[in-house]
């Protein structure tokens, strides 16, 4: 589920936007993530994930309001800049999957989407490693396709890339 889908579901359930919640939280003197989360769950019946989404917006506003290009630029700054071109190569290849392929940069990785469904993530993890997470339900981890484990629960497999040449046909397939 995309972050925007979370916000849409929250508005459908409560009739309120993040700006509405901001006004109410300020009125109630709520400033910390935990207290905002607990208030949203108790007062509006939001589940934990939805409450955390709003609490995050209210406490880390700039992280959620940054433009996608700004988020992308931040991910590839400094020593991680060398992974920008391999990421663009990856994006060009997965874009051939169809016209519904899109990306959604977050503060720590880039979601790879097909319609509203996430099929993978790309993350410039360190200066020496670029990680790609893929949803391969039912496929056993094998070779360079390791189990994602607790690295990211949104995907089943993780491929760590140390050289841009490793973004190859096997990975794309």
Write out pLDDT tens, residues 113-124.
998 899 999 999
**Do 71 and 39 touch, CB atoms closer than 8 A?**
no
DSSP 146: E
Q: Where are the domains of the chain?
A: 3-65, 68-172
pLDDT in tens, 155-173: 999 999 998 899 999 999 9
pLDDT in tens, 124-147: 999 999 999 999 999 999 999 999
DSSP 3-state assignment of 79? helix
pLDDT at 57: 87
pLDDT at 102: 93
pLDDT at 88: 93
CB atoms within 10 A of CB 52: 18
State pTM to two decimals: 0.65
pLDDT at 171: 93
pLDDT in tens, 99-113: 999 999 988 899 999
pLDDT at 91: 94
Counting every residue written for the chain, the total comes to 173
pLDDT at 4: 82
Q: What is the mean pLDDT of the chain?
A: 91
Compute the Cα dihedral for 153, 154, 159, 164 and give only its sign.
negative
Q: How far apart are CA 157 and CA 146, in angstroms?
A: 5
pLDDT at 50: 93
3-state SS string over 99-139? Answer: CCEEEEECCCCEEEEECCEEEEEEEEEECCEEEEEECCCCC
**Position 5 confidence tier, pLDDT thresholds 50, 70, 90:** confident
Nearest to 151 by CA among 119, 121, 116: 121
DSSP per-residue string spanning 18-58: HHHHHHHHHHTT--SHHHHHHHHHHHH---HHHHHHHHHHH
Average pLDDT over residues 49-63: 83
């Amino acid at each position: 589920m995309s972050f925007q889908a979370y916000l849409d579901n929250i508005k459908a359930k409560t009739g309120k936007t993040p700006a509405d919640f901001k006004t109410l939280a300020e009125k109630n003197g709520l400033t910390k993530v935990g207290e905002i989360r607990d208030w949203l769950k108790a007062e509006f019946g939001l589940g934990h994930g939805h409450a955390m989404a709003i609490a995050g917006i209210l406490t880390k506003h700039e992280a959620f309001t940054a433009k996608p290009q700004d988020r992308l630029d931040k991910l590839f700054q400094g020593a991680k800049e060398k992974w920008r071109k391999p990421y663009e190569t990856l994006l060009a290849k997965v874009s051939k999957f169809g016209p519904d392929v899109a990306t959604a940069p977050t503060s720590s990785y880039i979601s790879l989407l097909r319609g509203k469904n996430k099929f993978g993530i790309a993350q410039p993890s360190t200066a020496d490693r670029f990680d790609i997470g893929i949803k391969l339900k039912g496929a056993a981890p094998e070779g360079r396709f390791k189990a994602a484990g607790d690295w990211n629960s949104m995907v089943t497999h993780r491929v760590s890339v140390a050289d841009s040449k490793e973004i190859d046909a096997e990975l794309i397939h």
